[in-house]
Amino acid sequence: MGSRTPLFSEHERLGARIVPFGGWDMPLHYGSQLDEHHAVRQQAGVFDVSHMRPVDIQGADARAYLQRLLANDVAKLQQPGKALYSCMLNAEGGVIDDLICYDLGSNRYRAVVNAATADKDLAWMRARAEDFRASETEHASPNPSAPALEIHARDDLAMLAVQGPEARAKVAPLLPEALREPALALKPFFAVEHGDWLVGRTGYTGEDGFEIMLPATQVVDLWQALLAAGVAPCGLGARDTLRLEAGMNLYGQDMTEEVGPLESGLEWTVAFEPRERDFIGRSALEAQRASGDLRDFIGLLLTGRGVLRSHQPVLVNGQPVGEVTSGGFSPTLQRSIALARVQAGIGEQCAVEIRGKAVPAQVVKPPFVRHGKARITME
């Protein structure tokens, strides 16, 4: 038996199919993965993402520490509430995890890390904090009584993602009164905080909506209120097809500890400026860029019959040039789609080996779908 979120009894009550995921027992779907996918694209759906781990980083040295820890630069966060997507790299430039980091103001930040890597991430973050304290003594706190750097896993919080074109309108009336108007006023990739509640206009589906962190003791009430308001409960299956259509990476498939952001379509998340910022993995990424033989990260649209799956070989003229990293059937496009890592410059047409047969595919640039609409031209 895996770990269970505070909503596990709700999932059972709704008849969810429960599967193991990253050490947790989580709902795959509540009867129809397809219906849940379309609910998010067309109305609103809610996902229990309480298996993810919020981690608070605070103190006078918090910003300098995060500038060392993350490939993206938290100095871009110029006002409280702004969010930043980043990879956390090892010394070889591989991805330990990808995460969102929120600036909460007053030298406070919150990182939200993935469920399957949470324990590993937290151990890495704490070890790097000790390294930082040893090597960055010039950042000592001006207040001797205040710790210069603290890292706290917020195991007291639960997390819901409410996504879809109707999500914000359905959520706002159910929030604490002090959050309702500020939440509706949020720009994308901003958040607002009130007490132990944090509402961010972020998500993993390619649709508008909120990700809500709140006390675990209050999440059942919010979940039930959302369902009563007509928001569909959605499981891991729909979350995966939605994020694939949106061209969003999945850790452990599209990037790993062995494969870094420059070969995973995430070069936009690496801040090489200012040059003096020596983030972990920087020298390895610079060597990769200088080598000139980086692989491309592409989208694929299957034009023949079949379903794309991870690890299937990508072929050009019958020869392997890479492999699918994430693949599946797109309910919105009614076609099979994939993300793949391949040799640079393979052109606009290729094939994918499916059950021993070379099936033709079209090379496209993700995302495939955003805000309910196709973003690619299908031949």
Model pLDDT for residues 232-252, shown as the tens digit of each residue? 999 999 999 999 999 999 999
Average pLDDT over residues 94-105: 98
Residue 308 pLDDT exceeds 70: yes
- Tracing tokens 């999440």 back to the chain, one arrives at 219
Residue 144 pLDDT exceeds 80: no
pLDDT band at 367 (very low <50, low <70, confident <90, very high): very high
What pLDDT score was predicted for residue 134? 81
Which amino acid is located at 245 in the chain?
E
What pLDDT score was predicted for residue 133? 87
Average pLDDT over residues 186-200: 98
Average pLDDT over residues 262-273: 98
Is the distance from CB of 123 to CB of 55 less than 8 angstroms?
A: no
Residue 12 pLDDT exceeds 90: yes
What pLDDT score was predicted for residue 236? 98
pTM reported for the whole predicted model: 0.95
What pLDDT score was predicted for residue 54? 98
Average pLDDT over residues 161-189: 98
pLDDT band at 137 (very low <50, low <70, confident <90, very high): low
What pLDDT score was predicted for residue 140? 47
What pLDDT score was predicted for residue 146? 64
Output the CATH code of domain 295-379.
2.40.30.110
Residue 73 pLDDT exceeds 60: yes
- What is the CATH class of 1-292? alpha beta
Residue 290 pLDDT exceeds 50: yes
Residue 113 pLDDT exceeds 50: yes
> Rounded to whole angstroms, how far apart are CA atoms 108 and 58?
4
The 3-state secondary structure of the chain reads CCECCCCHHHHHHCCCEEEEECCEEEEEECCCHHHHHHHHHHCCEEEECCCCEEEEEECCCHHHHHHHHECCCHHHCCCCCEEEEEEEECCCCCEEEEEEEEEEECCEEEEEECCCCHHHHHHHHHHHHHHHHHHCHHHCCCCCCCCCCEEEECCCEEEEEEECCCHHHHHHHHCCHHHHHHHHCCCCCEEEEECCEEEECCCCCCCCEEEEEEEHHHHHHHHHHHHHCCCEEECHHHHHHHHHHCCCCCECCCECCCCCHHHCCCHHHCCCCCCCCCCCCHHHHHHHHHHCCCCEEEEEEECCCCCCCCCCEEEECCEEEEEEEEEEEECCCCEEEEEEEECCCCCCEEEEEECCEEEEEEEECCCCEECCEECCCCC
Residue 138 pLDDT exceeds 90: no
Bigger pLDDT: 139 vs 110: 110
Closest to 112 measured CA to CA, from 82, 154, 81: 154
Structure tokens given for 307: 């379903």
pLDDT band at 145 (very low <50, low <70, confident <90, very high): low
> Rounded to whole angstroms, how far apart are CA atoms 111 and 107?
13
Residue 26 pLDDT exceeds 50: yes
What pLDDT score was predicted for residue 129? 96
The pLDDT > 70 percentage for the chain reads 97
Could you tell me the residue ranges of all domains in the chain? 1-292, 295-379
Residue 300 pLDDT exceeds 70: yes
